[in-house]
Amino acid sequence: MASSAGRVLVYGGKGALGSAIVNHFKSNNWWVASIDLIPNEDAHSNIVITKTDSWTEQEQEVLKAVEGSLGDEKVDAVYCVAGGWAGGNAASSALVKNSDAMWKQSVWSSVIAANISSKWLKENGILALTGAKAALEGTPGMMGYGLAKAAVHQLVKSLAAGDSGIPSGAVVTAILPVTLDTPMNRKFMSNADMTKWTPLEFVADLFYKWATKAERPENGSLLQLITDERKTSVEPAS
């Protein structure tokens, strides 16, 4: 670990985006830890979540494993890209079920990532969470998803405020993608306009820049990822 260029922790490190981030940092000689339901064989350290029914038990499991992996070492960046998608309006029979799943995937992970950051993030480090551009407005066809992502947006604002418990000088932000270019999205939305999908490599490189203190966003900013004709711009939400 001592010979690495830096250290980063990726919550959701086995998903499509998480794997891209792990690989990008590893290729740049960074030490990478992944937190997910299954291990990422490319990461240097894996924290595997088995507690999925209790938020407090999941927190205790993850914190204990992070301590075992890092000890007193600190990380330069914590990136939470855990999440998922589910639809449904108020009349849907799956409204509560899907909302519960979205809350667990996006909010549980983001709050635990914040707690990890309070303990193991370096001063002047960066914590980035994953919101959604859609959740800046109403999401009637995917209520649980919008609810969870809006909560992540609020969490960013709270973490960026004074006395939040985040280390001094650290930046807290969230990316707000529209659609990420993942294998799963390609499978289930094969007829969509993929030129408007954000490449995973763009996000991984953006996170790498931030970790190396390049092109850092303002603390508390919510950053929309707008892709058109395969070119992506980063636009702060008003």
Which residues are known catalytic residues? 145
Q: Are 145 and 139 in contact (CB under 8 A)?
A: yes
Q: What dihedral do alpha carbons 83, 98, 100, 54 form, nearest 10°? A: -70
Q: Are 202 and 226 in contact (CB under 8 A)?
A: no
Q: Is 78 left (phi over 0), alpha (psi -120 to 50) or beta?
A: beta
The 10 Å Cβ neighbour count of residue 27 is 11
The residue type at 63 = L
User: Alpha-carbon distance 171 to 125, whole Å?
Assistant: 6
Residue 141's nearest CA partner among 100, 179, 87, 177 is: 87
Pair type for strands 45-48 and 231-236: unpaired
Q: Are 65 and 59 in contact (CB under 8 A)?
A: no
